[in-house]
Structure 1
Amino acid sequence: MGLRDDLERYREVGEERREDLAEFIQYGDLGQSLPDEIHIPIKIVDLPEFRYDQRDRGGVGQGNPDVGDPVGQPQPQPGDDGEEGDPGDESGDHDYYEMDPEEFAQELDDELGLELEPKGKEVIEETEGDFTDVTKTGPDSTLDFERMFKEGLKRKLAMDFDPNYVREAMGVEGWGPDEVFQWARKKSLTVSKRWVEENYDALSADERTKWESIEEMESRVTPMSTAQKIREEGIRHVPFRREDERYRYPEIIEEREKNVVVVNIRDVSGSMREKKRELVERTFTPLDWYLTGKYDNAEFVYIAHDAEAWRVEQSEFFGIRSGGGTKISSAYELAAAILEEEFPWADWNRYVFAAGDSENSRNDTEENVVPMMEKIPANLHAYVETQPEGKAINATHAEEVERHFAEADNVAVSYVNGPEDVTKAIYEILSTEAE
């Protein structure tokens, strides 16, 4: 194995030692990543290298200096003389492990034990699958003859009888066609009255007195089953009927594009200080990455609010802070308008995530927010309360939402008091929709 292979192996070891995903989400630097390129820090493994002994003190493995070609003295390097050199402008290629959102979603599924299956919404293509469905009409080329034969064969097995066995019953002394026909019906032999009469008339007088009783005949003669007749004689006739005909046609497979829109709502009022904002970012950012990786097409809407709400760009979302009060319903009103106009429920999966410190205007949660959450169709509504320094007396929004939607299967409420609570909150949110 050469040096190049050794270096590659060391890089692989470094990637294996990247930060645990949960640890990265809770404490890592999320800002190093892009929406479609997630950088997970690697716990660095020093790569092997040769070092030159600048003081030329010798040592084990020095060798004879008179043998071989000299390699020359090392050139002075920046910093060797005590002065600082120019800083480099190239980063190492082994200090981050890069993954796309799809890989991130898969790893988070494994890490947290999630089983979220995205739902397809908009039909983008219809294709013909296997010939698995049948109809009563169709072109002759699609006639399901095998099915028709089976139906006819089942009818033959149900209706067929051993004619010789019935003729033996005609030989019971004192019996005529009526008695034979009644006996055949009791034996579930599907024979017609006309057939009995015709075959009885063909018997001689001696043949009509062969048996003293029906019991004697039945004890001496064994009927041949239809299956036995088929084995011995083959199938001469299968009674097909029009209603047995079925025509095969292909199953129509609809390929649906998995579209998702995620509405992220954040309280930016005066009470949302830096630590609270950081917890919102640490919770919402992995959720965005995860859903991007799960769906074919992901769109994001960012709404900031204090007493009023406005739409912002993702780059602004986590840094905004205002000095106003709080009215959470203003954000839901704006979200409802955006979703109705741009992301119809028939074509889009919807997630509405809101976060704040649970402080809200008096009665706004019960009178306005809860009805709006019920009004907006979505795969999942979630509220994340961030309270790193203890809960304020009037911070009741999360509890009111949780109490009202206690029996709902598409509403999740999570409490994040510190980074250690983030992965638990993410699991609570995503597992609610998965269930």
Structure 2
Amino acid sequence: MVMKIDRDANRFREIVRGKIRENLRKYITHTEMIGRKGRDLVSIPVPQLDVPHFRYGKNQGGVGQGDGEPGQPIGRGDEEGEGGQAGSDPGQHILEVDVTLTELAEMLASELELPRIEPKGQAKISEEKARYNSIRRVGPESLRHFKRTYIQALQRQVAEGVYNPRKPIVVPVKEDRRYRSWQTTTEPQANAVIVYIMDVSGSMTDDQKEIVRTESFWIDTWLKSQYDGVERRYIIHDAAAREVDEHTFYHTRESGGTRISSAYEAAVQLLERNFPNDEWNTYCFQFSDGDNWGEDNRRALQLLREKLLSRCNLFCYGQVESPYGSGDYIHALEAAFEPFFENLVLSEIEDRDAIFDSIKKFLGKGK
């Protein structure tokens, strides 16, 4: 039986989640929630909501005691405060709400109308699982099936004529005991690897990297909801490329030139070495301000066409607008590939407000 207070608490949680859905675009385009991310939960600050509660003050003489006149202030409200001038606007109540990453993915899918991803047919890794789907006469006591044991004992006593309906006492003996048993089955487990590539040359500022970090958080959240296992790898580059950890990916800035082909070469080597194409669904997300050494475009486009697009479910290129970058590379991609490669998606990200539409463009094909 559910108590009224539990029903009220559940209703309040639904109101809170409705508030989050209403403001999801704001949360997507800002970083206020990423810093509150735990292993499976994200703490979201929701404004203008508060849990109803009693607030106790300092009473003088108790309630209803002593003489008084109509309109006379009660308690300490008539004393002059020690702080500054009183304000005229109501305060803003901020409530920290824990939301699971699964719930966030569902909200994201609903808001962006994202189709569920269909994994590649051959990209499966078999995983052995034990399923308790049979009964045996022997086994450990921890797996004894009490219902089956009772039924077996009852059937035996009825057959032997010793069962008394007026005194329905059933006493199992050793031969009556039944135990749960298992069979090992092989199940397909869809896996995905996400390769993030970012230009960290001098023209990419901290603001551009923060946009990349925000968009990557939501990409991770969605893909993790679609696959049993997700691996993430990070590649940074200026004129040369290298694989790094997540922290280094978002906090490195170099002063050299830009050769995008070096990042593609590193990505190809990483995938061929660790993630066979017939076992993994592969996603690449490249972020850049569009700068590239002019003579390198030919080599970069060749690697993309011959080595990467053929093995990727999606290759997404996001061009982050920078005051220092030329922005030319996205035009080279459009000229070389569109509309011939359906798994290549291009997006121009002018500012934080463009993150929402960029995510929808990247993930909206359901690949």
TM-score, L = length of structure 1: 0.58
- Counterpart amino acid of residue 27 in structure 2: F
Q: Residue deviations 1:220-244, cap 9 Å, x none?
A: xxxxxxxxxxxxxxxxxxxxxxxxx
CA distance in 2, matches of 1:432, 1:307: 32
CA drift of 1:416 comes to 0.3
Superposition map of 1:218-237 within 5 A: none
Deviations 1:83-134 (A, max 9, x none): xxxxxxxxx995123212x33332221111111323152252699xxxxxxx
SS in 2 for 1:414: strand
* Partner SS state of residue 252, structure 2: coil
Separation in structure 2 between the aligned mates of residue 112 and residue 270 of structure 1, nearest angstrom: 33
Matched, 1:362 2:298: no
Letter of the aligned partner of 1:374 in structure 2? Answer: E
CA distance in structure 1 between the aligned counterparts of 2:250 and 2:58, rounded to whole angstroms: 51
Name the structure 2 match of 1:138. none
C-alpha distance 254-401 of structure 1, shift in aligned 2 (>3 A): farther
Specify the code of the residue in structure 2 equivalent to 1:118.
E
1:313 corresponds, among 245, 256, 262, to: 245
Q: CA RMSD in A?
A: 3.2
Match of residue 200 from structure 1? none
String of CA shifts for 1:182-228, please: whole Å, max 9, x gaps.
xxxxxxxxxxxxxxxxxxxxxxxxxxxxxxxxxxxxxxxxxxxxxxx
Relative to structure 1, the CA distance from residue 333 to residue 118 in structure 2 (aligned partners, 3 Å threshold; closer, same or farther) is same
Contact map agreement 1:329 1:364 (CA 8 A) in 2: yes
> Residue by residue, what CA displacement relative to the aligned partner does 1:383-415 show, whole Å, maximum 9, x if unpaired?
1000054x74x4311111122110211101100
> Shift of residue 324 of structure 1?
1.3
Counterpart contact for 1:261–1:299, Cα < 8 Å: yes
Using the aligned pairs only, state the percent identity: 31
Amino acid at match of 1:292: K
**1:314: how far off?**
1.1
Paired residue secondary structure (1:46) = coil
Cα 1:41–1:382 change in 2 (3 A) is: same
Query: 2:283 is matched with which residue: 351, 356, 359?
Result: 351
Structure 1 residues 15 and 427 mapped into 2: Cα distance closer, same or farther (>3 Å)? closer
Query: What corresponds to 1:277 in structure 2?
Result: 209
Q: Counterparts in 2 of 1:333-412, with a 5 A limit?
A: 333-376=265-308, 377-389=311-323, 392=325, 394-406=326-338, 407-412=340-345
Secondary structure of 2:188 counterpart? strand
Paired with 1:319 and 1:351, the residues of 2 have a C-alpha distance of 22
Q: Matches of 2:306 and 2:25 in 1, distance apart?
A: 32
Match of residue 171 from structure 2: none
1:5-44 map, 5 Å = 9-18=11-20, 20-29=23-32, 30-34=34-38, 36-44=40-48
What's the CA shift string for 1:240-294, capped at 9, x where partnerless?
Answer: xxxxxxxxxxxxx984211100000011111101111111112222111211111
Greater shift, 377-386 or 37-46, is seen at: 37-46
Which protein shows a greater Rg? 1
Q: Which runs of 5+ in 2 are unaligned?
A: 67-74, 76-80, 84-92, 130-184
Cα pair distance change 1:411/1:254, threshold 3 Å: farther
Name the aligned partner's letter for residue 382 of structure 1.
C
CA offsets per residue over residues 53-86 of structure 1, 9 Å max, x none?
436398xxx4357xxxxxxxx9xxxxx999xxxx
Matched-pair contact (CA < 8 Å) for 2:49–2:94: no
In structure 1, the partner of 2:361 is 428
* Cα distance in structure 2, aligned partners of 1:264 and 1:274: 17
1: CA distance, partners of 2:301 / 2:274:
21
Counting matched residue pairs gives: 282
Alpha-carbon distance between aligned partners in 2 of 1:123 and 1:276, rounded to the nearest angstrom? 36
2:58 maps to which of 54, 58, 61? 54
Q: CA deviation at 1:50?
A: 2.9
- Counterpart for residue 88 of structure 2: none
Q: Which runs of 5+ in 1 are unaligned?
A: 66-73, 75-79, 83-91, 128-252
1:109 aligns with 2:109: yes
Which letter maps to 2:297? Answer: T
Aligned counterparts of 2:227 and 2:124: Cα–Cα separation in 1: 12
Structure 2 CA distance for partners of 1:56 and 1:42, relative to 1, 3 Å:
same
Amino acid of the structure 2 residue aligned with 1:49: H
Letter in 1 for 2:53: E
Task: Summarize the Cα distance change of 1:10–1:104 in structure 2 as closer, same or farther, 3 Å threshold.
Answer: closer
The residue type equivalent to 1:325 in the other structure is G
Structure 1 or 2: more strand by fraction: 2
Aligned to 2:259: 327
Alpha-carbon separation, structure 2, partners of 1:340 and 1:398? 26
